[in-house]
Amino acid sequence: MTTAQEQHVLTVALAGNPNSGKSTLFNALTKLRQKVGNYPGVTVEKRTGRFDLDNGSHVNVLDLPGTYSLTVQSPDEQVAHDVLLGRITSTPQPDIVVCVVDACHLERHLYLVSQIQDLRLPVIVALNMMDELTKQGRTIDINELACKLGSPVVPMSALHHQGLNQLKDTITRGCPNVPARRWRLPKPMERAIQSLQHQLETQHRIQRNESFSRGLLYLTTDTPPETLPKDLLKPIAQHRATLEAQGIHWRSAAVAARYTWIQQVLVGIIHAPSVCKPQWSDKLDAILTHKIWGWVAFLGMMTLMFYTIFTVAAIPMDWIDGGFTFLSEQLHAHMPPGDLRDLVTNGIVAGIGGVMVFLPQILILFFFICLLQDSGYMARAAFIMDRLMSRVGLHGKAFIPLLSSFACAIPGIMATRSIESPKDRMVTLLVAPLMTCSARLPVFTLLIATLLPNTPALTKAGLMLLMYLLGTIGAIGMAWLFKRTLFKGPTPPFIMELPPYRLPSAGSILLHMWERSYLFIKKAGTIIFAFSVILWALMTYPKADHLSPDTALKQSFAGRLGVAMEPAIRPLGYDWRIGIGLLGSMTAREIFVSTMNIVFSLDKEADTLTLREAFSQADWPDGRPLFTPLTCLSLMVFYVFAMQCVSSLAVIRRETNSWRWPLFQLVYMTTLAYVAALLVYQGGHLLGGS
């Protein structure tokens, strides 16, 4: 059915503060008809979706990044601002802006509404969380609010799907008249802005709808924005001097005037009971951020998270691993022997299996990250940890991404999106893979078993702990270094809302888990897959079927590479066989174990014990043992620091929008690993070790 109505597709932008329930509304409106991508050139996530109106016409929805303001201080604000003005290519300018506000915290949320109104855009105010307001025994005079704001107001509860139809009806009706600005600056400042507006419009072709907010931004910001025309610098300085002479604080006057207007709007509109009962959120905070109980709760929650990852995730990981092994065996049995069979079983199936096996861990981690985020606890974790994190110049919010990286760096890297400052986000992202992830565990287990075959488990655990500690120190040290060199800057401001605790909705958590996992499979999967096939080819060709597997491997391209790189890795105590292991584990660190199985011509599924024995018998051509204690230690230290993970590189590529940073990371981490392993091996020799 093609009707006239379907031809014009409305574009609606959803704007709002963080924690306003904007994403909940977006999900409720679009259901699953949504897409996630990046805005061109920046690392701000772009979410778009569609929904239908009752009259059958389609609406495109843009979910803008959550911002408190449009003063363009962060990339998020810049994108929100530019989308609203239709300045981003491939993103149409919105016909209507729905500004989602939290009914319980109207005073601060209306600040953004007023800024959007200044851009002369039609705004519908979605008065969200009405259910919470009612629970608190408060009411809002909706009509009066709409009248005073000059924009339609729709009361709703996005979480309970209440008010959605009314919002759609309001969108259908549209907002024909955009009200003139209702808040007023002090008179002399109005005059200053007017004169700037005039200059912007006549000399710089700035549109009418934008000239006020631009003039205001230029007049009130100390550091001139990039867009500021140079010839305005002088008049701005003059205006400021005049205002100062009249006792007007040009930096704060506009913000104060806006808030004063908001207070006037709210007078007599909100009716609260005379006795306010203490809110459960505040009571909970008294415990969760308590000097003692706060730590207990925090450590308890983190322990639970890791316990779940290492116990619960292990079960489906075994299934997936077993399933792919079974599939590979079946294919092996039913396909005619040849290169194609080898490619399918050892390259393709093993490659896909290598990607999928990480999925349970990633899903569980995202479940926890999402739970922490949606419940409001994430802000408390940052609140508790900020003091520690700020010592290395990082934001409290960097803690959870770094902690998650102990399980897997991928969710950790993806979780850095919550850090607003781009510099701090980059530093967190660059050091996250140094945290000892679970893929290193099989490598450490094997090497510790080789190094200390007959020692009690406690000693082994101690050595393992030492490796974790080394990785953490490495991450903190590198963060400290990056903050002083590449990403030099002041310690980021910690001005963070502590949102009220809320019960997260199962739907939104599931949706988030699905979305993140899908992005991981799509972005990392293809690269890991390609890499697995390339590695398979390197280890298979040129073919030497008449030789034994280990000799054939030495003849292969990978073997030749290993032999070629032996001079470079000999100072670390490694021979060409370990070199192949290092190359093979570029896809994922635990592949080292299975590669070594092939190198020592064992069955691919041989257990640690067998491989350990093979290790203890391996020697250099002159008969010296290969896996000396120092070689094992040096190899472990290498794995602590080395970036042996194509998935992480692929995810960092997605998160930073360029190959520059993943390549930089590969180089710096490999160098760090090489130097550290060299120090261990050569230093150990100097101290008389072997």
Our CB check for another protein shows the closer of 193 and 553 to be: 193
- Helix, strand, or coil (residue 571): helix
Query: How many angstroms from the chain centroid is the CA of residue 68?
Result: 20
Query: Which residues, 6 or more positions from 537, have their beta carbon under 8 angstroms from its beta carbon?
Result: 343, 347, 557
Provide the minimum distance between the beta carbon of 282 and another protein in the complex, in angstroms, as a whole number: 8
How far apart (Å, rounded) are the C-alpha atoms in residues 137 and 135?
5
Q: 94: cis peptide before it, omega within 30°?
A: no
Provide the minimum distance between the beta carbon of 259 and another protein in the complex, in angstroms, as a whole number: 5
Provide the minimum distance between the beta carbon of 263 and another protein in the complex, in angstroms, as a whole number: 9
117: tokens are 């109104």
Our CB check for another protein shows the closer of 462 and 489 to be: 489
| Location of structure tokens 């290498």 | 638
Provide the minimum distance between the beta carbon of 497 and another protein in the complex, in angstroms, as a whole number: 6
626: tokens are 């290969």
Our CB check for another protein shows the closer of 252 and 671 to be: 252
Our CB check for another protein shows the closer of 163 and 499 to be: 499
Our CB check for another protein shows the closer of 421 and 540 to be: 421
- Among 19, 44, 173, 171, smallest CA distance to 100 is for 19
- Could you tell me if 67 and 76 are in contact, meaning their C-beta atoms sit under 8 angstroms apart? yes
Provide the minimum distance between the beta carbon of 383 and another protein in the complex, in angstroms, as a whole number: 5
Our CB check for another protein shows the closer of 501 and 600 to be: 501
Task: For residue 37, give the H/E element and its range.
Answer: strand 34-38
Provide the minimum distance between the beta carbon of 22 and another protein in the complex, in angstroms, as a whole number: 16
Task: For residue 540, give the H/E element and its range.
Answer: helix 526-540
Our CB check for another protein shows the closer of 57 and 221 to be: 221
- Helix, strand, or coil (residue 272): coil
Question: Residue 344 phi/psi, 5° resolution?
Answer: -65, -50
How far apart (Å, rounded) are the C-alpha atoms in residues 630 and 447?
11
What does DSSP assign to residue 658?
S
- Could you tell me if 411 and 365 are in contact, meaning their C-beta atoms sit under 8 angstroms apart? yes
How far apart (Å, rounded) are the C-alpha atoms in residues 368 and 366?
5
Q: What are the beta bridge partners of residue 34? A: 49
Our CB check for another protein shows the closer of 282 and 318 to be: 282
How far apart (Å, rounded) are the C-alpha atoms in residues 630 and 685?
8
Our CB check for another protein shows the closer of 37 and 137 to be: 137
Provide the minimum distance between the beta carbon of 274 and another protein in the complex, in angstroms, as a whole number: 16
Provide the minimum distance between the beta carbon of 312 and another protein in the complex, in angstroms, as a whole number: 30
- Could you tell me if 152 and 170 are in contact, meaning their C-beta atoms sit under 8 angstroms apart? yes
Our CB check for another protein shows the closer of 259 and 661 to be: 259
- Could you tell me if 211 and 229 are in contact, meaning their C-beta atoms sit under 8 angstroms apart? no
How far apart (Å, rounded) are the C-alpha atoms in residues 126 and 103?
9
Buried-state track 262-294, b at ≥16 Cβ within 10 A, e below 16: beebeeebbeeeeeeeeeeeeebbeebbeeeeb
How far apart (Å, rounded) are the C-alpha atoms in residues 679 and 474?
15
121: tokens are 């855009």
Query: Which residues, 6 or more positions from 299, have their beta carbon under 8 angstroms from its beta carbon?
Result: none
Provide the minimum distance between the beta carbon of 490 and another protein in the complex, in angstroms, as a whole number: 9
**CA angle, 518 as apex, 523 and 433 as ends, to 5°?**
55
205: tokens are 């072709």
Provide the minimum distance between the beta carbon of 291 and another protein in the complex, in angstroms, as a whole number: 5
Provide the minimum distance between the beta carbon of 441 and another protein in the complex, in angstroms, as a whole number: 31
Our CB check for another protein shows the closer of 191 and 251 to be: 251
Our CB check for another protein shows the closer of 70 and 652 to be: 70
Provide the minimum distance between the beta carbon of 668 and another protein in the complex, in angstroms, as a whole number: 30
Provide the minimum distance between the beta carbon of 221 and another protein in the complex, in angstroms, as a whole number: 7
Task: Give the interface with another protein as residue ranges (CB under 8 A).
Answer: 68-69, 71, 73, 104-108, 111, 220-223, 251-252, 255-256, 259-260, 282, 285-286, 289-292, 294-295, 379, 383-384, 386-388, 390, 396, 493-500
- Could you tell me if 116 and 123 are in contact, meaning their C-beta atoms sit under 8 angstroms apart? yes
How far apart (Å, rounded) are the C-alpha atoms in residues 137 and 223?
45
Our CB check for another protein shows the closer of 46 and 380 to be: 380
Provide the minimum distance between the beta carbon of 422 and another protein in the complex, in angstroms, as a whole number: 14
How far apart (Å, rounded) are the C-alpha atoms in residues 645 and 355?
11
Provide the minimum distance between the beta carbon of 223 and another protein in the complex, in angstroms, as a whole number: 7
- Number of residues written out for the chain: 690
DSSP character string of 165-220: HHHHHHHHH----PPPP-----HHHHHHHHHHHHHHHHHS---HHHHHHHHHHHHH
Our CB check for another protein shows the closer of 250 and 592 to be: 250
Our CB check for another protein shows the closer of 170 and 220 to be: 220
Our CB check for another protein shows the closer of 380 and 440 to be: 380
Provide the minimum distance between the beta carbon of 294 and another protein in the complex, in angstroms, as a whole number: 5
